[in-house]
Structure 1
């Protein structure tokens, strides 16, 4: 039977409509310009910023050059008065990352650090080669570790051809968790960056996995260290603001320039293999009860031991426990962090972390003394409009007793000292930020590296002298 006239009309209308839509789609497709690599460059991400900083350091005595040979003939006499440091430096980061193009993107960033005022020791004499130093005329000054530098800061390629996965190869910044173990030390003008391959994956619901193999670390002293660093970090999101993290960091760097500081003075310890592994677990977060009230908590434990031929004295553990509360824009918490000692022969070290953020900002403990550290501290923050206020107070003890100046073989000291820090940050707009920071460390028991040292030139080597630091920073980010 033939279709009814109105059925035929409907069929013709539908067919005509599909033909029109198909023609329109083809025409639109023909009109769309091809997305080219040049378009990917134009729509990429700016990686450019400029940071101007003034840093003043007033220190009662010359901090020991723990990172170099004890027989350092370039060190000044310990009885000489240390000069205050006044450093004005400008860091310029200029870079760009393209938008993805066929699942590939490229990033390049150069760094320049320029000294506008040079009345400070930039620390590079600690890592000199064959006695040469570009700081021989500055070693009587307090340290501000911001050396001149012009280099490639980051240069990498990203591939995102697998869903929820990013593979990155090249020189790159890495910041994991609270940057205690892996960080870029971005506070300093020269940053720490890594050369190698990393993989970031979010396939498992609420889980982020970061894996990496790095073969070079570029340190803030402008020193390049070769070795192998394997990273495994898995982060599970309990809630939007609470996390459970498991991690393993496997370092096969025989020399990170820290031999004396890790194992004690003497030429033999300069050659001690620093390869080690850290395995740990971290529970950290903020639990909101209402939009205005919340609780903060942290519980973390890690074990460090020798790895791949590392010195067998490397055997220590770490914990951090603490918590607090928040009400509206105010937060307060109390914490304790332990970096344990292995019978005063070695203490837990974090050579790839952003250590400036721990044990206060005055940087007395970037390397853990062999007696270990037990840091008990309180932290408060308050946000008012575009201003953020910060203050903390640290009581810094040893894990085991340490020798004191003029002390005998019995270890008679346990308190390194106390420190308080304060800062105010003004986020002027989306591009401009300014910050004023202050830190003051007060020495406790007079630490000595060995028994029966006196308060003369030899005995002063180990002490952590009273120190005040002031920073004024202005930063523009594109």
Structure 2
């Protein structure tokens, strides 16, 4: 784990010392007696069929996670968590680290890593976290943990949240290293586009205020200094505003953001992001439709609106065709439904993808998933998931199928 700045560590120690001086009744043993073991195991089979020269991928992997969440002592707690990702059977897929470049990609490399290791302090007016941690902001469109992949994305740094007024949360995070899904280690097959550790200095500012039960407003600015990712061309300053809420079963989200270059990015960025989404829930059935635009820019290099730290699998289709925004940008018109069915949850989505600049019709995608608890085993859930991208003027036809079992203790 990368070193956290001494000033941040000093602040954490000072906070603990003050808390201990202010209160003298809590038992230090609470850290252990009120703690909880963490155990999680996730088996996944992933099949990828692309209409190109690559061989079909068939990947079987097991993600095992173990750790300990302590109890609290004067508001202080700690968490330690380690992951292992292991291949089961033949390596008939390109993990991005195994050299199997004649197969389609399933980005789940083998290896073991400390997933989280942190100190946390909770107070009535906020909290502070120092160490390796999850950071999931808002709907994870710009900053998230990519929990869908077997090796979760976590962040080395410090996060502070202040809640000075009811309904208002002010968040600031400093990050000096990002443990990407392509880890835990680099090797001879890594590229500038998929480093195991993304180095640099990033600052995340987020202010969220619940104006009323029907309206939450979030203003944000994300200053990403990503020095060794794509030659620094993903470093950016993204400033935006999000409005969302629900009224009588009708949910909505409106969002706008502007992205410019930051740090030592060799490209001159100037692109926009738009989102309009509307949903309706009635008797356990949720219908939702939306229109999302990531602006393009045809200058030297790809200067389109990018989201390098997002949980991208949750957006623009599960086939993951648009992990990097094309130079002409993306317009995604989508509609979907989620409903309870036979004790589980069924969801289906349709996407129409077009270029933001020009008239190119990229393609269409259909996504379907069904998840259900496994009877007789508490904490065990099964998932069947399918994505089919029908290419027109971008990428190639792609079909993906997942079978998954996950047990959480």
- TM bracket (short chain): 0.7 to 0.9
Displacement of 1:284 after TM fit? Answer: 1.4
Q: Any residues of structure 2 matched to 1:119-198 within 5 Å, and which? A: 119-124=92-97, 135-136=98-99, 138-160=100-122, 162-198=123-159
RMSD of aligned Cα (Å): 1.7
Separation in 1, partners of 2:290, 2:43: 32
CA contact (8 A) 1:255 1:274 kept: no
Separation in 1, partners of 2:85, 2:345: 27
Farther off after superposition, 382-391 or 142-151: 382-391
CA contact (8 A) 1:344 1:400 kept: no
2:384 pairs with one of 413, 421, 436: 436
User: Equivalent residue for 1:278?
Assistant: 238
Alignment of 1:38 with 2:29, yes or no, is yes
Alignment of 1:379 with 2:362, yes or no, is no
1:38-64 deviation digits (Å, cap 9, x = unpaired): 332121234321111111111111xxx
1:243 pairs with one of 185, 201, 216: 216
Q: Any residues of structure 2 matched to 1:296-311 within 5 Å, and which? A: 296-311=251-266
SS of 2:357's partner is strand
User: Equivalent residue for 2:406?
Assistant: 475
SS of 2:328's partner is coil
Separation in 2, partners of 1:254, 1:226: 6
Separation in 2, partners of 1:103, 1:45: 16
Alignment of 1:215 with 2:176, yes or no, is yes
When residues 329 and 49 of structure 1 are mapped into structure 2, their CA distance, relative to the original with a 3 A threshold, is same
Separation in 1, partners of 2:60, 2:352: 31
SS of 2:145's partner is coil
CA contact (8 A) 1:313 1:342 kept: no
Show structure 2 runs of 5+ residues with no match.
1-24, 184-195
1:350-397 deviation digits (Å, cap 9, x = unpaired): 000001111100111111111110010101111136311100000001
User: Equivalent residue for 1:369?
Assistant: 326
Separation in 2, partners of 1:430, 1:328: 27
Separation in 2, partners of 1:306, 1:275: 6
1:263-287 deviation digits (Å, cap 9, x = unpaired): xxxxxxxx45432100000011222
CA contact (8 A) 1:275 1:311 kept: no
CA contact (8 A) 2:330 2:353 kept: yes
Displacement of 1:239 after TM fit? Answer: 4.2
User: Equivalent residue for 1:263?
Assistant: none
Q: Any residues of structure 2 matched to 1:215-234 within 5 Å, and which? A: 215-222=176-183, 223-234=196-207
Show structure 1 runs of 5+ residues with no match.
1-33, 62-80, 125-134, 260-270, 289-293, 402-412, 448-463
Separation in 2, partners of 1:341, 1:46: 47
1:82-129 deviation digits (Å, cap 9, x = unpaired): 2111111111111111111132111100000000132110023xxxxx
Separation in 2, partners of 1:419, 1:120: 23
Give 1 or 2: higher helix fraction.
1
Give 1 or 2: higher strand fraction.
2
Aligned residues: 368
Question: Structure 2 length normalisation: TM-score?
Answer: 0.86
When residues 165 and 385 of structure 1 are mapped into structure 2, their CA distance, relative to the original with a 3 A threshold, is farther
Displacement of 1:343 after TM fit? Answer: 3.2
Separation in 1, partners of 2:119, 2:378: 28
2:316 pairs with one of 359, 363, 370: 359
Separation in 2, partners of 1:253, 1:203: 32
